[in-house]
Amino acid sequence: MKYFHYAFVLFVCNVLLAPFGHAQTYPNKPVTIIVPLAPGGISDLTARPLAAALSQVTGQSFIVENKPGAGGAMGAAFAANQKPDGYKLLVALTSMLVIPEAEKVAGKQPSYEVNQFIPIAKVSADPVVLLVKADSPWKTMEDFVKDAKNRPGILSYSSSGLFGAIHVPMEMAAQASGIKLIHVPYQSGGQSMAALLGGQVDVTIQAPGVANPHIKSGKIRALATFGNARTKVLSEIPTLKELGYDVEFYIWASLFTQKGTPQDVVTKLRTIVRQAIDEPVFVNAMNNMAAPIFYQDSPELQTSIENERKHFTNVVKRIGKID
C-alpha cells in the first residue's frame, strides 16, 4: 500500500511538473532551422546568423538546412509535418502566406496551411527594390515602364519561384503600371540575382540585403522601392507610390514552429529569439547586409499574418491561375 501511495504521489508530481520540464531542458539537443529556399537569398542570409546567435544564447547547436523547391512550398510543407517539439523550426518569408492561396487558385490541394504553424517572432522586414543592370538603357522606372509598354511580353524578370517573394511584388508592379513581362522562376533569391547579373533576364526584385552589395559595386541600378517611404540605405531611390503606382510590398523573415508544440517550449523560443537578435553575430551580419532588424513577438506577428493573408488572397486572385 505504501508503494502504491508513493507511486501515485510520484505520478502526480510528474504530471504537475511536466509543463516546466520542457522549458527547463529545451533545447537539450541540436535544433534544425529549415530554410525553404536555396542558399544565397534573404531567408538563408538571415537564418544563418540567427542560428549562430541562438547557439550562443543557449549553448546548443542550431543548424540551418536548406530544402528548396516550388518557391518555398516544399520546404514549408516538410517543416509543417515534423514532430511539434521545437527541434525542427522554419525561417520563412512573406511568400509563405501566398503559396497556399496560389495553390487553391490553381485548383490544387495546398501543400501546407499557414495555421499549421505557430509564429515565434519576426526578425527582419524591408521593402523590396526593383533592379536592372547598371549598363541597361533604363535610368529610371519611367524609362523601364515606357520600354516595356512598347515591347509587351518581351522583357523578362527572374524570381525565387512561382508566387514567391519576388514573383508577387513584380506582378503587382506590372499590373499597376500596365506592362507585360516574361517570368523566369529560379529556386532562390540568390539564383534570381545571379540571373540578372549574368544577363539572363532584364530585371528582378530583391530584398535590399541581397541587392546592396551589387548596388555598391556598380553592377546593378535600383529604379524603385516598394515601401510607403524611402529607405534609409537607398534614400535617393523613389518609391513606387511616389511615382504614382499604388504598390507596397515588404519582404520579412520570421521564425515558426509547428502547431502543437508545447506552450512552454514556444515561450522559451520567444525568449531566446528576443535575446538572439541582440547578439553581435546577428547584429553585425544584418548591418553588413544593410538589412534592418525588425522584431515582432508572437502575438503581434500573428495579428500581422492574419491581416496580410487577407490582402494576399486578393492579390493572388488578381494574378490568377498560372499554367
Task: Tell me which of 151-155, 165-169, 177-181 is least confident.
Answer: 165-169
Residue 323 has pLDDT above 80, yes or no: no
Cβ proximity of 292 and 212 under 8 Å: no
Q: Packing angle between helix 263-276 and helix 42-58, nearest 10 degrees? A: 100
Spacing of C-alpha 48 from chain mean position: 13
Share of the chain above pLDDT 90, in %: 73
**pLDDT: which is higher, 41 or 138:** 138
Binned at pLDDT 50, 70 and 90, residue 24 comes out as: low
Query: Domains in the chain, please, with CATH?
Result: 18-125+252-319 (3.40.190.150), 129-225 (3.40.190.10)
Mean pLDDT (whole number) for 39-68: 95
Query: For the whole model, what pTM was predicted?
Result: 0.83
Copy the grid coordinates of residue 79: 517543416
Copy the grid coordinates of residue 301: 506577428
pLDDT for 206-241, tens place per residue? 988 788 889 999 999 999 999 999 988 889 999 999
Binned at pLDDT 50, 70 and 90, residue 4 comes out as: very low
Contacting residues for 163 by C-beta, under 8 A, at least 6 apart? 71, 95, 98, 99, 102, 316, 319, 322
pLDDT score, position 189 = 84
pLDDT score, position 291 = 85
Mean pLDDT (whole number) for 92-104: 92
Strand residues in 48-97 grouped as ranges (E): 62-66, 88-93
Cβ proximity of 294 and 207 under 8 Å: no
pLDDT for 235-272, tens place per residue? 999 999 999 999 999 999 999 999 999 999 999 999 99
Cβ count within 10 A of residue 225? 28
pLDDT for 54-92, tens place per residue? 999 999 999 999 999 888 999 999 999 999 999 999 999
pLDDT score, position 156 = 98
